[in-house]
Amino acid sequence: MPKEAHIHANSWGFASLLFAGLIVDLAADITRSPLAGRRTVDVIFWCMILGALGLVVGPWLGGNLLATVPGLVLHIAATVALLVLLVRMLRRHGGFVRAGAWHLALSYVWILLPVLVAPLILLGVAGIPGADVEATAPQALIYGWVLQFLFAVVPYFAARWLLQAPDARLGGNWLSLVTANAGSALIWVSIFLTGIRAELQGVAYILLAVSLVAAAWEAGTITLAALRNAERARRPAVA
């Protein structure tokens, strides 16, 4: 595995751990009940830790077969288990009637897609441009996974902390949901359609910019409401 691929895998592993912790906290905050039993959460946590450790030390202990591949499998298995628990929790509480729950669930598709393609690259399957996938897939990972995750959680925590709203909901809207996923999908398509790669990526970045503006508008609305509340609270004291 090239050095750049190891760097991407390591960064992904640590970010995944951070987001997993946020998901566990979100479940307890939104539903007033834990995402799963303590033992289940601990097993998922340690599988993710050991998997990330395998991704980090793999290059130093003989490469793919000794540590990297087992670490990847362990980390992905724990991530899938966490995603299943998240989807069950959101569906049980009617979360999928809003875009925020879809943002969280679909964001993890962009983690699993590179994992599904990786064996094809290692096997040298014809038509799978390994170098292009390694160079381009991290963009879709960042935009499809990280941005979508933030679209959902940033407005939620902003409402909880700035507005002191006990009934805060996951952020995101249908426009940000469609454009974020369509943009990420076009980045992946551009890997294989080299003749129109520049055009596809151009459209993808426009869609991603639209999704970012739509999500930022929501966060800005919450911030503006918090400033207005603070201003109203100050007026009696000034008078």
- Residue 129 pLDDT: 66
* Residues 15-44: tens digit of each pLDDT: 778 888 888 888 878 877 888 888 998 899
How far, CA to CA in Å, does 140 sit from each of 77, 107, 109, 148, 210?
21, 10, 10, 11, 16
- Residue 11 pLDDT: 58
Distance of CA 143 to the CA centre of its chain: 8
d(CA 48, CA 105): 18
225 CB burial (10 A radius; 0-12, 13-18, 19+) = middle
* Residues 91-110: tens digit of each pLDDT: 888 889 999 999 999 998 88
Predicted confidence band of residue 7 (pLDDT cuts 50, 70, 90): very low
* Residues 200-227: tens digit of each pLDDT: 999 999 999 999 998 888 888 888 887 8
- Residue 122 pLDDT: 56
For 22, what's the count of Cα atoms within 13 Å in the CB-facing half-sphere?
16
Nearest to 73 by CA among 42, 118, 105, 106: 118
- Residue 118 pLDDT: 63
Would you say residue 58 has pLDDT above 90?
no
How far, CA to CA in Å, does 192 sit from each of 120, 187, 196, 197?
14, 10, 9, 8
* Residues 168-209: tens digit of each pLDDT: 888 889 999 999 999 999 998 888 888 898 999 999 999 999
